[in-house]
Amino acid sequence: MDDQPNLNIIDETGKIVGEDSRTNVHDKGLLHQEIHVWFFTSDGKIIFQHRAKDKDTFPNLLDASVGGHVEKGEKYIDTALKEIKEETGLRVTSDKLRYIKTQRSTSYDPVTSRTNNVLRAVFAYRYDGLIESLMIEQGKGIGFEAWPLKTILNISSEEKKRFIPTIFNPDIIDVFHKIVLIIQRES
């Protein structure tokens, strides 16, 4: 029995066509909605969340600062704000988030044999605090790490192994380039 709220199943246009449990959504590779919020610093770093060792997909790897499934009845922005609070302890208002884009992504995790098939809204948030002040959600993550964007955009093969594989897909690299432009505009 899956004790988590159901997720909307969507078609390629984002239209809701059904619902199912999170477990079934990943086991069957059903298309659903997610959010990512990328925290960045004014000195050009991206903050990654270290996923818990028992996550259902890509355990023990570095991922987006904040990520989450859009539950039945929620909107992308509402999920982003809720997940920021749950995963970092911060209360952020929607005017502080920068919408980057909505992207289509499918990834298969060979460790857990699950597929994450999503339409994902991506946001950026400038974080001016100490990384140690971010409060990891109990049981969901191990902590946070800040990496210079210059390093991420020129990462070695060995360092890549610490991240979920999709971090280095062109769509997410494009997000990082857009964050570089935001930092340049604000400095």
| Contact (Cβ atoms closer than 8 angstroms) between residue 182 and residue 42 | no
Q: What is the pTM of this model?
A: 0.91
Predicted local distance difference test score (pLDDT) of residue 4: 76
* Domain definitions of the chain by residue range: 7-186
Quote the CA–CA distance of 174 and 177 in Å, as a whole number: 5
Predicted local distance difference test score (pLDDT) of residue 135: 96
Predicted local distance difference test score (pLDDT) of residue 158: 96
- The fold of 7-186 is Nucleoside Triphosphate Pyrophosphohydrolase (3.90.79)
DSSP string, the chain: ---SPPEEEE-TTS-EEEEE-HHHHHHHT-EEEEEEEEEE-TTSEEEEEEE-TT-SSSTTSEE-SEEEE-BTT--HHHHHHHHHHHHH-----GGG-EEEEEEEEEEEETTTTEEEEEEEEEEEEE--S-GGG--PPTTTEEEEEEEEHHHHTT--HHHHTTB-GGGGSHHHHHHHHHHHHHHHHH-
Ordered mean pLDDT values, 10 residues apiece, the chain (187 residues): 78 94 93 97 97 86 95 94 97 97 90 90 97 92 96 96 93 96 92
| Contact (Cβ atoms closer than 8 angstroms) between residue 60 and residue 145 | no
- Count the Cβ atoms, other than its own, within 10 Å of residue 16: 13
Predicted local distance difference test score (pLDDT) of residue 3: 66
Predicted local distance difference test score (pLDDT) of residue 119: 96
Predicted local distance difference test score (pLDDT) of residue 1: 43
